[in-house]
Amino acid sequence: MMLSVKGVRKSFGETDVLRGIDLNVEEGDVVAILGPSGSGKTTFLRCLNFLERADAGELIFDGEHYDLHSATKKEISAIRRRTAFVFQNYNLFQNKTVLQNVTLGLTSGRGMNKAAAEKIAREALEKVGMLAKADAYPIALSGGQQQRVAIARGMATQPEIIYFDEPTSALDPELIGEVLAVMRQLASEGMTMLVVTHEMEFARNVSNQIIFMEGGHVIEAGPTAEFFSHPKEERSRSFIRSILNKESL
Amino acid sequence: MNERLWNILVDSFPKLLEYGIKVTVPLTILSFLLSLIISVIVAMIQYADIKGLRQICRFYIWLIRGTPLLVQLYIVFYGLPSVGITLPAYTAAVLVFGFNEGAYMAETMRGSLESVSVGQLEAGYCVGLNYLQVMGHVVLPQAFRTAFPALSNSLISMLKGTSMAATITVMEMFRQAQVINGRVYESLGLYGEVALIYLAFCTLLTWLQHKGEKKLASYGGASS
């Protein structure tokens, strides 16, 4: 097991957002986390990279145990160096060019020399089809282009897993395809991915595991094919039905 | 204009300009650098919410903004010697101007830091940077850009404010005008002349500000 998470709990004030979430990810898995808005998916993902501090929970990464509530700065930094995070709003560094966005984590974050970092960055940008814009600033790019650069920025650090937090939710409909295509390619190359998404087609065709969450609980978890063809829970069935109805409209 | 006044103005001009360039400008630059350093430190302490130090910063801003600059100059130069702290006039002026404008600029910087989206910080952490690295590479450069017009304002206001150093015996441009006037009694002419030189200096700074803003716009060429 590459990544194993147990008993993640988190509340904001009086509101319990996560009420004990478990998750297992094997190397090469593409896990789609589905669920209605407010189900805690994003908070869960953010807890895994310590962008939110969970109230309780354990993270086992390649056999190493981390406490999601009380991990030290050093442990957090170690985890973050082995993972990448793609945000809904891209969060490209506004004052850096596309190329600098990708190299910063390699040079300042990992002490790599500039030439080596730029070589890796150019390869990553080539892969997402953004090499031509290497010297542009984020403000000059479309949302889809910014998100592809953000994915290249994550890939360049050679993470063992990439977390995606609704990577296409902020995009115009006609720009969603180009980002999903990049993600699909990553998946086919064996990258381990944990994807919070509303894209049912992507979940159905690219992921191999589904986690369905609602109200801070995991309602159902299992292989993708099974989840869509034979959902066990009534709540999963109604969710799939409502989504499919929406898509056929 | 009579010939005597004209000759006085022409004769005094090089002298005034010389003191402007040799004293007023360096005094402004030194004080501004000091206030810039103070403002960044004070703003970052508040931004990072460092307990204890944060209260000290709020106290400093409250104290400085709540008392007149002229009174601060008098306390430091004429008052402190009675408790054994005697500073040269020039040093006292740099310290007072730096700490005074630093309080205002700290608030400018704090607002600018807070205007940078939290997502920039989070993205920095996620690519493996630590707090100081994210601040240095990402957050502070963006905050400086936002703060630039207000900081330019502070610089211009400081340049004019250095004339107050005349009151604590610093021989700068305005003090020089006072000295000349003491001999020739042409207040309107001489102080008008010195005002025009300040105006020229400030015009130059305003022009530089516009150049700077153009350069920073849309981050074309302003990498950090």
CA atoms of A25 and A30, how far apart (whole Å)? 8
Asked if residue A194 lies in contact with residue A163, where contact means CB atoms within 8 angstroms, the answer is yes
Q: Where are the alpha helices (DSSP H) in A68-166?
A: 73-82, 98-107, 114-127, 143-156
Range of the domain at B211: 3-218
Return the SS3 of B82. helix
**C-alpha to C-alpha distances, A43 to A49, B55, B117, B169, nearest whole angstrom:** 10, 33, 18, 63
CB of A25 closer than 8 Å to CB of A194: yes
CB A46 within 8 A of CB A165: yes
Whole-number mean pLDDT of chain A?
Answer: 94
Domain count, chain A: 1
Number of domain units in chain B: 1
Interface mutation vs chain A, best among B118, B121, B126, most A CBs within 10 Å? B126
Kindly give the parts of chain A with pLDDT less than 50. Answer: none
Residue B120 has its nearest CB partner, among A94, A137, A157, at A94
Q: What residue ranges of chain B have pLDDT lower than 50? A: 220-224
Taking an 8 Å cut-off on Cβ atoms, the answer to whether B126 and A110 are in contact is no
Spell out the SS3 assignment of B140-191: HHHHHHHHHHHHHHHHHHHHHHHHHHHHHCCCCHHHHHHHHHHHHCCHHHHH
**Residue-level pLDDT at A248:** 63
CB A166 within 8 A of CB A88: yes
Residue B127 lies in a domain: yes
Q: What is the CATH number of the domain that holds A106?
A: 3.40.50.300
Q: Which residues of B touch A (CB under 8 A)?
A: 117, 119-120, 122-130, 133, 137-138, 141-142, 145, 218-220, 222-224
Complete DSSP assignment for B23-52: IIHHHHHHHHHHHHHHHHHHHHHHHTT-TT
Q: Is residue B200 part of a domain?
A: yes
Q: Touching check for A132 and chain B: CB below 8 Å?
A: no
What pLDDT, on a 0 to 100 scale, did the predictor assign at position B218? Answer: 63
Collect all residues with Cβ–Cβ distance below 8 Å to B15 and sequence separation of at least 6. B176, B180
CA distance A150 to chain B (A): 9
pTM (2 d.p.): 0.88
**Closest residue to A108, CB basis, from B133, B219, B220:** B133
- Per DSSP, the three-state class of A195 is strand
CATH code for position B134:
1.10.3720.10
Q: What is the span of the domain harbouring residue A77?
A: 3-248
Instruction: Report chain B residues whose CB lies below 8 A from the CB of A139.
Output: 218-219
Q: Which residue from A minimizes the CA distance to B144?
A: A95
pLDDT at position B222 is 39
Closest CB to A95 among B122, B128, B219: B219
B126 with A85: Cβ contact below 8 A: yes
**Chain A contact set for B218 (CB, 8 A):** 137, 139-140
Are A31 and A23 a contacting pair, CB within 8 Å?
A: yes
Across the interface, of B117, B145, B223, the residue whose CB is closest to A96 is B223
DSSP helix/strand/coil, A190: coil
Q: Please give the residue of chain B at the shortest CA–CA distance from A88.
A: B119
Between B117, B141, B223, which is nearest A97 by CB? Answer: B223
Mutate to test the interface with A, among B127, B218, B224 (most CBs of A within 10 A): B127
Q: What is the pLDDT of residues A59-98, one digit of tens each?
A: 999 999 999 999 999 999 999 999 999 999 999 999 999 9
Report the complex ipTM: 0.94
> Rounded to an integer, what distance in angstroms lies between the CA atom of residue A22 and that of residue A221?
10
Let me know: does A93 contact A100? Beta carbons within 8 Å. Answer: yes
Which residue has 């006039």 as its token pair?
A: B89
pLDDT of residue A243: 81
Burial class from Cβ neighbours inside 10 Å (0-12, 13-18, 19+) for residue B219 reads buried
Residues of B in contact with A109 (CB under 8 A): 127-129, 133
